[in-house]
A and B are shown apart, each in its own frame.
Chain A
Amino acid sequence: MTATEKIATQETATAKSVIAFPRISFWRTIVALIFAAGIYSMYARFALGLKASTNLTDPQPWGLWVGLGTLCGVGLSAGGFAIAAAVYILGLERYRPILRTAVLISFLGYCTVCVGMLYELGLPWRIWHPIVMWNRHSVLFEVSWCVMLYTTVLALEFSPALLEKLPWVRVREAYLRWHHSILIALVLAGTLLSSMHQSFLGGLYLITKGKLDPLWYTPYLTTLFYLSAIPAGLAVTIMAIYLCMRSLNVRVDFSILSDVSRVISPLLAIYGVFRAVDLINRGATQYLWMWRREETQLFWLEIVLLVLAPIVLLSKEKVRKTPQYLYWTCAVIVMGFMTNRLNVSITGLQASSAMYYTPKWTEFAASLATITAAAVAFRYAVIYLDILPKNSQPRRGLASHAPVHA
């Protein structure tokens, strides 16, 4: 069996098992279990309180929901603005076929962030307070406005995919015409807002001087957060499109993804160099070799996964050109990125808080359920909307279910 045949059989197998509606399949069972755990976590969080649903304490007031839900959620949603800017502002038409997917991922990513915020806040019904109560000295204030505005921009950017399905021709045409006229303004605003948002998330930790470990505390946290978000966001976009190709019967020119991956390694290299220069400038290199410290170990895990391994892997043409290899390389980048954000938000603050925080299972379950919900939404969007072009010949196992847009 050749590699392609193997992938094809796998694809059919996955497609078959996932799509047939009433059948209980492996993935459906997993999703159902995640949702069941998620519903219990929701109950625990909102009916029993933060103490019952989290392991958060006064010395560690921000945990997984901030580290994973917000910092990773926003960071990994950076693909949308990067691809939109590339297509509309730089005129790189080559990436237009994957634009909608990238924007959809970002939009859903931001939705998970907003939902996660409701879990995270002690008084979630006051989530609107920042709209009327302003403190412009607060980084978090800027962050909250960026979330609100950029989620709106993403919703507008993505809206044609939904509204073009409206059966009323005149409403539809009028909306699409209006959308066309504001599109470039949306993309410009989105690029700026999203850039600021990515940076300000790093900026949140500028005030933790003296608390955050020197391996991570730097006045350039803003720049570093921005520089690392773009390659990670692109990696997520590649992963999602690869999965669509494998299991959702869509047709994408793989060389587009290869080209995206060619951009990733220079971006990671710039990040790595910036990081190294910053560590040397601050005289923090002494901490690099204190192997006994957990901080040092996790720092190196982060550097290997986010910078070193991907740059080596992506330098090989075979990796860039083989879908499966590229997928796993992107997975490594995403893991490295998540390690970085969790290091800043949890590992780096552990020593000063004298508290060893491990998230409670309900914290994992709530985050996982939110992310799974976004993944399910993504899947159905790709199936029912025109996000990616579909193969005109539906594969067996898909025929009964997926509508085919020839």
Chain B
Amino acid sequence: METTRAILVDITKCIGCRSCEQACKQIHGFPMDTEAKLSSTALTVVEEHGDRFVRRMCMHCEDPACASACLVGALKKTAAGPVTYDGSKCIGCRYCLVACPFSVPRYQWTKLVPYVTKCDMCAARQAKGQLPACVEACPVQASISGSREEILEEAQRRILNDSKYVKHIYGSDEAGGTSVFFISDVAFEKLGFVAAPKQAMPVLTANALGDGPTVILVGGALLSGLYWITQRRTQVALAEAREKSEKEGR
């Protein structure tokens, strides 16, 4: 089986040099100016929260809300880990932006032919055996990548062996589990992390969608039944009227 790739960001190690941002912009050919928030030309940014630096990027959920929301299947969770976007399918409905529990995808609002943009964990580079550009650029290994199992084990090892860490791996259960993990020595909610639901998001809509066929079958049967009763009543009323008029006629 192909291994699922993942990234671990250790907030205690980040020095805020923004090499990851720069590397990301470089391989995508974006303008190199530093941006404060994720944008369609900044797929990862280093945010400052107090004296900590927090890198933001797509979390690459195991069961992504965006991929379940996308009506044309432009967004996909690949077997290799990254959640990728196929712009040639996209119709620009922006439901992925609404659905993402981490509010990551960005839209090219200023363009006349706008697309969704988000980090794809350098899927093409990883397929060639290279590291994601941001990970490769990190001078202090604050971001590391590897197979999801290895990465989770490493994160576990670090937070268990060092008491400074918060005893939670952000991403281990958020939105049902992700492929990008954060560990920190400051509470996550103080660093701008959202308290995402601890369940796979597509489950939320699966139930409603699952009801569809039932609604059609039961509803169809019910309506047909009602229609039959209505028809029957009309026929009976008609027959009675006829009988009555025949009797009177006699």
Query: Residues of A at under 8 Å CB distance from B?
Result: 47-51, 56-59, 61-62, 85, 88-91, 120-124, 126-127, 129-130, 133-144, 184, 188, 191-192, 195-196, 199-200, 203-204, 206-211, 219, 222, 349, 352-353
Contact = CB atoms under 8 A, between A and B. Distances in A.
Contact of A61 (B98, B111, B215): B98
B89 interface: yes
Contacts of B89: 129, 133
Given A207-B65, A210-B195, A222 B109 contact: no
A141 B71 CA distance: 4
- Give the interface size class of chain B: 35 or more
A343 B148 CA distance: 40
Interface string B44-80: 0000000000000000000001011111111000000
Contacts of A58: 38-39, 97, 103, 105-107, 109
Contact of B71 (A49, A88, A124, A130): A130
Contacts of A129: 72, 89, 91
Contacts of B233: 91
Contacts of A88: 227
Interface in B209-250: 209, 211-212, 215-216, 219-220, 223-224, 226-227, 230-231, 233-234
Contacts of A188: 220, 223-224, 227
User: Which residue, of A129, A138, A143, A203, has the highest number of chain B Cβ atoms within 10 A?
Assistant: A138
Contacts of A57: 109
Interface of B: 38-39, 65, 67-74, 89-95, 97-99, 101, 103, 105-115, 194-197, 201-202, 204-209, 211-212, 215-216, 219-220, 223-224, 226-227, 230-231, 233-234
Contacts of A121: 91-93
Given A122-B107, A130-B71, A89 B227 contact: yes
Contacts of B67: 137
B208 A200 contact: yes
Contact of B230 (A90, A141, A195): A90
A393 to B, nearest CB: 35
26 contacts: A48-B112, A49-B114, A56-B109, A58-B105, A61-B94, A121-B91, A122-B91, A122-B114, A123-B92, A126-B92, A133-B73, A137-B68, A138-B70, A138-B95, A140-B70, A140-B93, A140-B95, A195-B219, A196-B216, A199-B208, A199-B215, A203-B209, A208-B98, A210-B101, A210-B194, A353-B103
